[in-house]
Structure 1
Amino acid sequence: MKVERIYRPKFEKVSLERRLETPREASEEMAECIVLRRDNLLLFSEEMLDLARWLTWETQTADVEQEAATGLKYAAKMYAAFFECARESEKTSTFNIYDLPEVNWNGLGLLEQGYINPAEWFDAYFLAVITRDTESMDTLATFPVEIMRQSATTTDDVVYSLVEVFQSYHQREQDFPVKLNKAMKALLADGDDWSLDIGMGYLETFAALTTNAGFDFNQVLAKNLQRQEQYHIRESGPDRAPVCSFIPLQLLGMACMWHDRGNEVIVESDSLPRFLIDGRYFK
């Protein structure tokens, strides 16, 4: 089941190599700069996501795959550490992220700056899923939604409920189906483009993954892959690339979960790199 991307970057205006320069420089500077500023945990996470997303337009060699996977592996740990800082903002926590220097940060000011919000959590959690980083998944699955609600960046109640749905499933709570159904109804009632195209895409695909409601996982995945790309193209406008659509973390994460359960992901798309679904660099 092949799903072709609609958007094509205009590399004749800005070359792919130029697009890759900044995230590659960030990758080289991680060890030096992570000790300078706590917010670099988030900055480097986002740069590594950009690196992996733009690399989907590169010829897929083993070296390219390894570069993308390595960046995502570091990003997952840094994203989780950034959220952990906000759990008890006055507490100083120590983080040892692979071969990077040890750092000690607190979370003072993070809520006031608006960084701790559901949109960031969705990326952080499913990035941990993709990289098979169970430690980061467990940390994020217990992060209090009440703290997110205190952030300067706020959103509709239904978006917080999506976080609760994913956390409920991760923690194997018995009322997970109730929370899932309630959140889906709330998204339909909300009715805006994000709720219908993105939020429902998350939950439809997750329902196909986790329930016996009669959904065909691969068909639902393919449908929402296309729908979400169209949303990001509209949101980005004519002058910006819809970079988030190059690798939709949440849908890719669910494809990884489907694969890891012994099922076949038959959807083929450059937005769902097969080496990430297989988890071959995260064993």
Structure 2
Amino acid sequence: MKIERIYKSKFESIPLDEWLESPKRRMKKIPTNIIKRRDNLLSFSNLYISFSRWLTWEVQTNEIEKESASGLRYASKMYAAFLKLAEHPEQDIMFKIFDLPAVTWNGKGMLEAGYANPEEWLDAYFLAVITRDSESMDSLANFPVEIMKQSATKAGPVSYKLVEVFQAFHHRQDNYPSLLNQCMKMAVDQGNDWALGIAMGYLETFAALTTDIGFDFNETLAKNVQLQEKYWINASDPDTVPVESFLPLQLLGMACMWRDMGNTVTVESDSLPRFLIEGTYF
């Protein structure tokens, strides 16, 4: 089942190499700059994710695949570390992420600054799923939703309930099915474009993945990859590139889970790189 992207690249005016030039320069400086500022854990995570999103437009050689996968591995550790600090704001915690310098920080002021909101958690958790980073998955699955609600950046009720749904499944809680149903109803009641276009897409695809509700996983995945690309195109300004749609972390993570459960992902899309689904470099 082949899905073509709706968005058409405009690399005639700005070549892809130019889009990639700035992040490449910044990534080279990460070993030096990571020790300078705690919030760099988040900014560098987002840098790596954005870079991998742009790389989906490249010809997928082994070199490009390794470059993308390596960046996502670093991003997963950084994202989970950053949210860990918000969970224990008074505690100094040391992190050693692969070959980067060891750093020690606390999370004072993070909630007041608006960090640790559900949007960040959803990206961090499914990034860990994609990179098969079980340590980060376990850490994030134990992050209290009540702490998220203390963040200065507020979200709608569906966002917090989504986190509860995914955490409940991670822990194989008996109340997972009821939480899933509750969240679907809340998304319908919330009724805005994000709740119906993004949250419901997550929930439908996850239901097809984890229950016998009757949804075909591949058909549901294909439908929601297309719907969510349309959402990001519509949500972006006319001159803004819908970068989020280039690598939809949550849907891609669910495709990885489906594959790791011994099933076949039949959906083919540049937004769902096969090497990430198969965990080739993880």
TM-score, normalization by structure 2: 0.99
Per-residue deviation at 1:12?
1.9
Please give the alpha-carbon distance, in whole angstroms, between the structure 1 residues aligned to 2:83 and 2:206: 23
Residue deviations 1:132-152 (CA, integer Å, cap 9, x gap): 000000000000111110111
Name the residue aligned to 1:99.
99
Please, which runs of 5 or more residues in structure 2 have no aligned partner?
none
Please give the alpha-carbon distance, in whole angstroms, between the structure 2 residues aligned to 1:154 and 1:22: 31
Per-residue deviation at 1:155?
1.1
**Structure 1 segments of 4+ aligned residues over 4 angstroms from their partners:** none
Please give the alpha-carbon distance, in whole angstroms, between the structure 2 residues aligned to 1:89 and 1:22: 33
Name the residue aligned to 2:20.
20
Does the aligned pair in 2 maintain the 1:142–1:167 contact within 8 Å?
yes
Residue deviations 1:251-273 (CA, integer Å, cap 9, x gap): 00000000001100000000000
Question: In the alignment, residue 56 of structure 1 is paired with which amino acid?
Answer: T
More divergent stretch after superposition (20-29 vs 137-146): 20-29
Please give the alpha-carbon distance, in whole angstroms, between the structure 2 residues aligned to 1:26 and 1:122: 25
Question: In the alignment, residue 178 of structure 1 is paired with which amino acid?
Answer: S
Per-residue deviation at 1:62?
0.2
Name the residue aligned to 1:208.
208
> SS at 2:111's partner residue?
helix
Does the aligned pair in 1 maintain the 2:158–2:199 contact within 8 Å?
no
More divergent stretch after superposition (21-30 vs 117-126): 21-30
Does the aligned pair in 2 maintain the 1:27–1:71 contact within 8 Å?
no
Question: In the alignment, residue 158 of structure 1 is paired with which amino acid?
Answer: V
Residue deviations 1:16-43 (CA, integer Å, cap 9, x gap): 1111112212221111111000000001
Name the residue aligned to 1:183.
183
> SS at 2:94's partner residue?
strand
Please give the alpha-carbon distance, in whole angstroms, between the structure 2 residues aligned to 1:257 and 1:182: 23
> SS at 2:268's partner residue?
coil
Please give the alpha-carbon distance, in whole angstroms, between the structure 2 residues aligned to 1:81 and 1:42: 9
**Would you say 1:114 and 2:135 are equivalent positions?**
no
Please give the alpha-carbon distance, in whole angstroms, between the structure 2 residues aligned to 1:24 and 1:259: 31
Structure 1 vs Structure 2 CA RMSD: 0.6
Residue deviations 1:66-93 (CA, integer Å, cap 9, x gap): 0000000000000000000001111110
**Would you say 1:193 and 2:193 are equivalent positions?**
yes
Does the aligned pair in 2 maintain the 1:169–1:176 contact within 8 Å?
yes
> SS at 1:74's partner residue?
helix
Please give the alpha-carbon distance, in whole angstroms, between the structure 1 residues aligned to 2:143 and 2:203: 20
TM-score, normalization by structure 1: 0.99
Identity of aligned residues (%): 61
Name the residue aligned to 1:171.
171
**Would you say 1:264 and 2:267 are equivalent positions?**
no
**Would you say 1:80 and 2:80 are equivalent positions?**
yes
Per-residue deviation at 1:108?
0.9
More divergent stretch after superposition (7-16 vs 130-139): 7-16
Question: In the alignment, residue 62 of structure 2 is paired with which amino acid?
Answer: A
